[in-house]
Structure 1
């Protein structure tokens, strides 16, 4: 399989005999970032040809691709992972569907091994009484402790999602998380504040719908119709909107970090104050970190 990726492609993960998917590229990057895909797990675009995840370094955000192998830079990498995770996860919301949580065990073991190196560096640095050495050792220890805390947090059991009912009709604050509703007819529906994470709504008709404050993170909305939809203040982290018709839709204040907008129709679409960090724009560009309202 060619390891060159396309923004709108759907991915599958295989561990042993278990296959999960499909997932967007943004979601695969999310799992890689949090250590939930192990180096021996395999990825595929067609469930026929499989390659180890380590053969797709381009799926990780660029800031994590060039980390060196020495102990100090490994700790820097873990600290940056912690920072990235804290940006995306709200302390008030449960996380959904742990994928491959035992990968965190390996990460914690790696941190423990590196702890011996840090202790040695501490003894050496403080013995020489050099301010620069002490500062360096302090930074390493701070990074180590933060990384260990984050690994323990990510490895803890995630709370059950209560109240999911895929059979109820569209209504404000409905809980449809993980429901399969491809090609659903939901035009002019009021779904304000709804929980709609990790759904399959590909080709769904949501024209004129109200999605204010809804959570659609990691939902598949590829080729969906959202003309004139009101999506203000919604959470759409990692959502797949590739090929969707978003003409006239309002995304003011929404969080579209890591979203896939490849090939979407954005005629008259409004993004005032919307977060577009690392989102894939309609022309395939990756929006810069800190992009707000406009893909930079």
Structure 2
């Protein structure tokens, strides 16, 4: 028998914006992860609204989220991330258009070389897609897309070429870990320890690095565009060639577009 409460659906409201309806179990998980805050409102009928923290079965999950320091992004942070996502999608679209042109050119060349071109192009085995596995241990090439791995212990781990966009690694310990060429775009690394870690050529677009320790780390060539580094520790960190377009520096300075290796403040408005 299912608990009747599990079969219920709820609307959510934040800053006047209504979403839903969502199943109870799913919404509890979002509250626990901090995606829905204790002061956001819920309603079963869209008319009677109450704060999440005062409604069962969400109150307990809200308390857990508050103790863990999880909370929804501010409107400014959500807007900044959405802008970063749109720019990333546009860049990927342009790259895809260029790729189509290259493929067409290759097909023409192969057709000129004769029938062997078809067998060569389509007879080669292709690598299987990399599927996210949130239970996978730290290893090179691991896929943690959108996984919740807060508090992960991965000191000295080899995580080169990992795929971990939107991953939750709050308070994770990754000291001396190797994350070269990894993709951590939009990851939440709040309060994580990456001291002495290497992140050469890593993608950290839109990542949340508030209070993160990157001391003595190597971020050469990393892409930190739109990343939030407020309160992060960067002493002795190597940032040669690192992109910092519109990133937020540890002191709260917004870096100007074109900032590479160091944060150039946006010019004051006239």
* Range into which the TM-score falls when normalised by the shorter chain: 0.5 to 0.7
Whole-angstrom CA distance in 1 between matches of 2:251 and 2:228: 11
Q: Does 1:47 align with 2:47?
A: no
CA distance in 2, matches of 1:185, 1:84: 30
CA RMSD of aligned residues (A): 3.2
Deviations 1:78-129 (A, max 9, x none): xxx987753476746xxxxxxxxxxxxxxxxxxxxxxxxxxxxxxxxxxxxx
CA distance in 1, matches of 2:92, 2:245: 11
Which protein has greater RCO, CA pairs closer than 8 Å, 6+ apart?
1
Aligned partner of 1:191 among 151, 159, 163: 159
Matches within 5 A, 1:131-170: 162-170=130-138
Instruction: Measure the CA separation in 2 of the matches of 1:228 and 1:58.
Output: 28
Alignment match of 2:90 (pick from 79, 83, 86): 86
Alignment of 1:275-290 (within 5 A): 275-290=243-258
CA distance change for structure 1 residues 83 and 167 in 2, over 3 Å: closer, same or farther?
Answer: closer
User: 1:167, CA displacement in angstroms?
Assistant: 1.3
Partner of 2:126: none
Distance (Å, rounded) in 2 between the aligned partners of 1:58 and 1:212 = 26
Where does residue 235 of structure 2 map in the other structure? 267
Size of the aligned set, in residue pairs, is 176
Match of 2:199 in 1: 231
| Partners of 1:90 and 1:184 in 2: CA distance | 36
Partner of 1:16: 19
1: distance between equivalents of 2:151 and 2:94?
30
Aligned residue in 2 for 1:293: 261
Shift of 1:245: 1.0
- From 250, 253, 259, the equivalent of 2:221 is 253
Counterpart position of 2:183 = 215
CA distance in 1, matches of 2:177, 2:94: 26
**Residues of 2 paired with 1:86 and 1:47: CA distance?**
32
Alpha-carbon distance change, 174 to 276 in structure 1, aligned in 2, over 3 angstroms: same
Task: Report the CA distance between 1:168 and its aligned residue.
Answer: 1.6
Matching of residues 173-192 of structure 1 within 5 Å: 173-192=141-160
SS for the counterpart of 1:281 is coil
Q: Whole-Å Cα distance in 2 between the matches of residues 233 and 200 of structure 1?
A: 21
- State the distance in 2 between where 1:222 and 1:170 align: 19
Q: Does 1:172 align with 2:175?
A: no
SS in 2 for 1:16: strand
| CA distance in structure 2 between the partners assigned to 1:217 and 1:59 by the alignment | 14
- TM-score with structure 1 length normalisation? 0.52
CA distance in 1, matches of 2:216, 2:199: 11
Of structures 1 and 2, the larger Rg is shown by: 2
Structure-2 separation of matches of 1:88 and 1:287: 23
SS in 2 for 1:86: helix
Change (3 A) 1:169 1:278: same
- Once residues 208 and 189 of structure 1 are traced to their aligned partners in structure 2, the CA distance between those partners, rounded to angstroms, is 8
Superimposed CA distance per residue, residues 42-100 of structure 1 (whole angstroms, 9 cap, x where no aligned partner):
x97953589xxxxx689756xx9xxxxxxxxxxxxxxxx987753476746xxxxxxxx
Q: Which residue of 2 aligns with 1:4?
A: none
Q: TM-score normalised to the size of structure 2?
A: 0.57
Give 1:279 shift.
0.3
Q: Name segments (4+ residues, structure 1) moved above 6 Å.
A: 81-84
Q: Which residue of 1 aligns with 2:212?
A: 244
